[in-house]
Amino acid sequence: MKLFSNFTSNPKNDILAGITVSLAMIPEVVAFAFVAGIDPLVALSGAFIIGLITALFGGRPGLISGAAGAVAVIFVDLIIKGHEKGMLMENPIENMGLYYLFAAVILMGVIQILAGVFKIGKFVRLIPHPVMMGFVNGLAIVIFLAQVEMFSHKNLVIGAGGVKKYVSTYMQGTELWIMMGLVALTMGIIWVLPKLTKKIPAALTAILITTAVVVLTGMDVSTVGSYIIEGGGTGLKGEVPTPNLELWENLPIGYDTFKFILPYAFLAAAVGLIESLMTMNLVDELTETRGSGNRECVAQGAGNIVSGLFGGTGGCGMIGQTVININAGGRGRLSGVMMAVTLLVFILFTDKLIEQVPIAALIGVMFMMVIETFAWSSFRILRKIPLSDAFVLIIVSIVTVVFDLAIAVFVGVIISALVFAWESAKRIRARKSMKDDGTKVYEIWGPLFFGSVTDFNKKFDPKNDPDKVEIDFIEARVQDHSGIEALRGVANKYLDLGKDIKLTHLSPECKELLMRRNPEFETIIETSIEDPRYHIATDLLDAEV
C-alpha cells in the first residue's frame, strides 16, 4: 500500500468538502472545549494536528478526525483532579490539570499505536450489524441533543468558595424564533439545492447564504465569535502550534503521574479507537470500499501523541463531520488535509470573518447530517429481524445516549455473543442407531463448545448402553477446550464401566489434545481419511493442566 494512496481522484470535490467540514468543525470543537474546561485554542490545535496526521496516514480516506466530545468528556475529571494536585504541590502550579491532560493524550496515543501494531483494529469487523445500527442511531441522537444545547446562552456564575461554573439559559421569544428561522433556512437550502444542481456544495452554500442574510440585515444573533466569548474565550486568535516545552518543565515525571493518568488514557484510547473504527466501517458502507483498521489505529495514535506534545487535546474519528464530508463529495485524503489546513488558516487569518458565521447555520448543517445519519430503516426492519437483534439495536442506541459509545459497543457485543452462544448451544443433536454387531452409534450433529456441553452430556446413558459404543463426529465440530473436556469426560465414563468405546471423525488437533491428557485414548480414537481438519479455539497449554 502506498503511503499516500487515494490522495484524491476529484480535487474540486475534496477541496470544497474539506472547507465545508472545517466550518462545521469549529463550533463543535469549541463546545467540547467548554465541556472539558479547557481553552478553545487547545481543542482547535488538537483538531488541526489530529485531522492532518490521520488524513495523510490513516486507514480510511475521507474519514475526518478531530477533537471529539467522546474523548473530551473522559478528561473532565482528570483536569479537575489535576488542578487540585497542582495546588497541593510544594511549589503550587496553576492549571496543572492541563499538563496532566497533555501527558494523558500522549499516553493515549501510545496505547492506540500498540493496538495497531498488535492488529487489534481487525476485531472491529466482528461487531454485529445490529450493534452498528444502534451505534449510528444513538450517535445521531447524541449529536442532535448537542445541537439543541446551542439554543442557549452560557452564563458564568461564581458560587461559594469562588467556584466557577457555567449555567445555560435557553432562548425565548423573538430570539428563539429568529434562531429557528435561520436553522430552517439553512436546512431548506441543503435539501433543495441538490435537486437543482450537484455542482455546488449544498452545506457550504447554505452556510454562506445564511451568514450573508445575517450580516446584511444586521440581525443580533448568536455567532461563532459570541459563542466563544460566552464560554470564557477571547475569540478565534491563535498561532501555529509549537512544541509545548512547559509540559516537561512542570509535569512531575514518575510512577505516580503514570498511575494517575493511565486509567484516563486507556479509556480515552478505547473510546477513540472504537468511535474511529466504527466510523470507518460506516464510511466503508457508504462508499462501498474498505479501509485498514490497524493502519487507522496507528494514525490515530500518532496524531494524539503529536497533539499532546504540541499542547493540544485528544481526539478521534468524528462521525458527524465524516458524514458531511462524504455527502459533500469528499472521498480522498485531500478532503481531510484540506479540512485541517483550512481550519488553521481560518484561525490564523480569517478569525474575524469566521466569527460572523451564525450558530444557526452550523446547527442547520448538523441537523441535516443527523437526518442522513440516522438509520431510519431500523424502524422498518424491527419486526422483521430476530427479537434478540432488535433488542440489541435498541439497547445500544439507549446506552450510547445515556452513557457513551464504548460502553454501548461493549454491551451490544456481549449481548450478541451471549445470544449466539445460547442459540448455538441448542443445535447440538445426537442421532442414535444400532449396528449389526450390537454397537450403539451416537452420531453427533452441531457445535460442541462451552455453551452446549450440558446438553451434550445428557445425550448419553453409559450405565444402560451396550458394551460397545461409537461416538461419530462427522457432522459435528469440537470448538473449544470445554468441548474437549466434555468429550474426555464422556469417554472416561464408558471406560470406567469397562465398556468398549470408539471416537470417530475427530480433527487431528482434537485427537492430540485428548491424548495429551489421556494417552490411552490412542486405542479408542479411530483415524480416517474423512476426518475433518479444523482447528480448535483453545490454548494448547490449557490441555496440559
Please indicate, yes or no, whether residues 332 and 465 belong to a single structural domain of this protein. Answer: no
Please indicate, yes or no, whether residues 502 and 381 belong to a single structural domain of this protein. Answer: no
Q: What are the grid coordinates assigned to 129, written together?
A: 450489524
Measured between alpha carbons, how far is 489 from 228 in angstroms, rounded to an integer?
Answer: 69
54 in Cβ contact with 65 (< 8 Å): yes
For every residue of 251-273, DSSP letters joined together read: S--SHHHHHHHHHHHHHHHHHHH
pLDDT at position 54: 95
Measured between alpha carbons, how far is 50 from 125 in angstroms, rounded to an integer?
Answer: 24
Q: Which of 325, 355, 385 is the last residue of a domain?
A: 385
Please indicate, yes or no, whether residues 195 and 69 belong to a single structural domain of this protein. Answer: yes
pLDDT at position 49: 93
Is there a domain that residue 404 lies in?
no
pLDDT at position 379: 86
65 in Cβ contact with 316 (< 8 Å): yes
Strand partners, 432: 442
**Total domains, the chain:** 2
Please indicate, yes or no, whether residues 436 and 348 belong to a single structural domain of this protein. Answer: no
pLDDT at position 542: 41
Grid cell 480535487 is found at 11
pLDDT at position 100: 93
Is there a domain that residue 68 lies in?
yes
191 in Cβ contact with 368 (< 8 Å): yes
Strand partners, 469: 440, 501
pLDDT at position 162: 56
Residue 451 maps to which CATH number? 3.30.750.24
Radius of gyration, CA atoms only, the chain: 29
How far apart, in Å, are the Cα atoms of 457 and each of 82, 380, 483?
A: 56, 42, 10
Please, what are the averages of pLDDT over each run of 10 residues along the chain (545 residues)?
Answer: 70 91 77 67 87 93 86 82 84 85 95 92 76 83 81 68 65 91 94 85 85 92 78 64 82 91 90 86 83 92 94 88 88 93 82 81 84 84 86 90 78 88 85 92 91 91 94 87 90 93 88 84 82 62 38
- How is residue 358 annotated by DSSP? B
Is there a domain that residue 136 lies in?
no
Range of the domain at 432: 426-544
Whether the predicted model's global pTM rises above the 0.85 cut: no
Measured between alpha carbons, how far is 409 from 127 in angstroms, rounded to an integer?
Answer: 8
Measured between alpha carbons, how far is 537 from 424 in angstroms, rounded to an integer?
Answer: 15
For every residue of 108-168, DSSP letters joined together read: HHHHHHHHHHTTGGGGGGGS-HHHHHHHHHHHHHHHHHHHHTTSEEEEEEE-GGG-EEEEE
How far apart, in Å, are the Cα atoms of 363 and each of 72, 180, 229?
A: 20, 10, 18
Exposure of 90 in the CB half-sphere (CA atoms within 13 A): 1
Please indicate, yes or no, whether residues 254 and 378 belong to a single structural domain of this protein. Answer: yes
**223: helix, coil or strand?**
strand
Is there a domain that residue 1 lies in?
no
Measured between alpha carbons, how far is 516 from 475 in angstroms, rounded to an integer?
Answer: 24
Instruction: Print the SS3 string covering 477-524.
Output: EECEHHHHHHHHHHHHHHHHCCCEEEEECCCHHHHHHHHHHCHHHHHC
pLDDT at position 26: 77
Exposure of 369 in the CB half-sphere (CA atoms within 13 A): 30
Is there a domain that residue 412 lies in?
no
Please indicate, yes or no, whether residues 189 and 67 belong to a single structural domain of this protein. Answer: yes
Is there a domain that residue 354 lies in?
yes
Please indicate, yes or no, whether residues 381 and 433 belong to a single structural domain of this protein. Answer: no
Contacts of 115 (CB under 8 A, 6+ apart): 121, 269, 273, 297, 301
Is there a domain that residue 162 lies in?
no
Is there a domain that residue 511 lies in?
yes
Strand partners, 447: 477
Measured between alpha carbons, how far is 325 from 319 in angstroms, rounded to an integer?
Answer: 10
**CA 230 to chain CA centroid, nearest Å:** 31
Q: What are the grid coordinates assigned to 510, written together?
A: 482434537
Is the backbone of residue 428 left (phi > 0), alpha (psi -120 to 50) or beta? beta
Please indicate, yes or no, whether residues 324 and 250 belong to a single structural domain of this protein. Answer: yes
Please indicate, yes or no, whether residues 360 and 215 belong to a single structural domain of this protein. Answer: yes
